[in-house]
Amino acid sequence: MPDKTLKNKSWPPRWLTDVNEKELKNSKGLEIAQFIDAMCIQTKDTVAGHAGQPIVLRDWQKDLLNHIFAVRNDGLLKHRTALVGMARKNGKSALSSGIALWGLFLGENGSEIYSCAADKDQAKIVFNDAKKMIEAEPEMVEYAKIYRDAIEIPSTNSVYRVLSSEAYTKEGLSPTLVIMDELHALPNRELFDVMQLGMGARREPLLLAITTAGVKSDTTGQDSIAYSLYQYGQKVARQEIKDDSFLWLGGKHLLIRTIVLVILGNLLILLLVT
């Protein structure tokens, strides 16, 4: 029977910034896909399978990893920021847990990985699934010290922490990998800016932001970070702006959702001012 689960209507994406053949050939995507297939399990019962069964990555997920983790001519990761806009319920968060674990176990010594989102419960979705994946795999559990909001690997001095936009320390963060889930729900752009600034001292850091819509304004009344990046990404994809370090990937649904949200937002403002 053909596999209809986790099919992705957003793939191939409507917008995708340019990644050339050589950068794809040298990508770390394959290594990450192999790590996830070998080490990561499904954490709950879904239409895709049962809790405890291994994650079997779909071809589109491998393709996505290849793009995100494309490698430049100098051997370093091409992207510092990757914005992935996709429809709901196709395994974005579970894939992110796998990516975070790859960074934690196979990243450079002293890696700092962060899972963050608008609030702690949201941020914990990716983090707690990653915890369960470690606990189910003796080869990972052996090396890890698991706390409520952090996982440490003492032998490499690497750490994976969960943060929310309500509670984080601005100082002292030096992320190698940031997973920002549900970007459109961030109340303002502070967390995003702090993480990007913190990445500055790293050789090949990556901030992976995931969104299902481009909400126009945030709680400060400014254009939201999701909407700003969405517009920026479109300009990079159309080659109106040159920024090789920015990956933007978005499907058709995202355009429709964003247009609907922008119209509703403007209608609301009109109603409020009249």
Ligand X SMILES: Nc1ncnc2c1ncn2[C@@H]1O[C@H](COP(=O)(O)OP(=O)(O)OP(=O)(O)O)[C@@H](O)[C@H]1O
Stretch touching ligand X by CB under 6 A, among 38-46, 75-83, 162-170, 249-257 = 38-46
Is 78 or 131 the residue whose CB approaches ligand X more closely? 131
Cα separation, 33 vs 102, whole angstroms? 9
Q: With contacts defined by CB under 6 A, how many residues of the chain interact with ligand X? A: 21
Q: Where are the beta strands (DSSP E) in the chain?
A: 15-16, 81-85, 112-117, 145-146, 150-153, 158-164, 177-180, 206-211, 246-250
Among 95, 117, 236, 247, interactor with ligand X by CB under 6 A: 95
Residue selected from 48, 68, 82, 162 as contacting ligand X according to rule CB under 6 A: 48
Number of shown-chain residues binding Mg ion (CB under 5 A)? 1
Q: Quick one: which segment of 52-60, 162-170, 223-231, 232-240 binds ligand X (CB under 6 A)?
A: 52-60
3-class DSSP state of 107: coil
Q: Which residue has the tokens 């395994």?
A: 91
Distance from the Cα of residue 198 to its chain's centroid = 17
Cα separation of the two ends of the chain = 57
The entry of ligand X, Mg ion, none near residue 46 (CB within 5 to 8 angstroms by kind) is ligand X
Pair type for strands 150-153 and 81-85: unpaired
> Alpha-carbon distance 96 to 127, whole Å?
9
187 binds ligand X (CB under 6 A): no
CB of 201 to ligand X, least distance (A): 30
Cα–Cα dist 135/142, whole Å:
9
Which of the listed partners (ligand X, Mg ion, none) does 89 bind, with a CB threshold of 5 to 8 Å by partner kind? ligand X
User: Within positions 90 to 129, which residues make up the interface with Mg ion, using CB under 5 A?
Assistant: 93
Helix (H, G, I), strand (E, B) or coil at 113: strand
180 binds, among Mg ion, ligand X, none (CB under 5 to 8 A by kind): none
Collapsing DSSP states into helix, strand and coil, what is residue 84? strand
Instruction: Tell me 224's DSSP state.
Output: P
If one asks whether residue 148 binds ligand X (CB under 6 A), the answer comes out as no
Rule CB under 6 A: choose which of 28, 67, 78, 92 binds ligand X: 92
For residue 264, the minimal CB distance to Mg ion (Å) is: 23
Q: Is 89 in the site for ligand X (CB under 6 A)?
A: yes
Q: Which residues bind Mg ion (CB under 5 A)?
A: 93
Q: Which residues bind ligand X (CB under 6 A)?
A: 6, 42-44, 46, 48-49, 55-58, 61, 88-95, 212
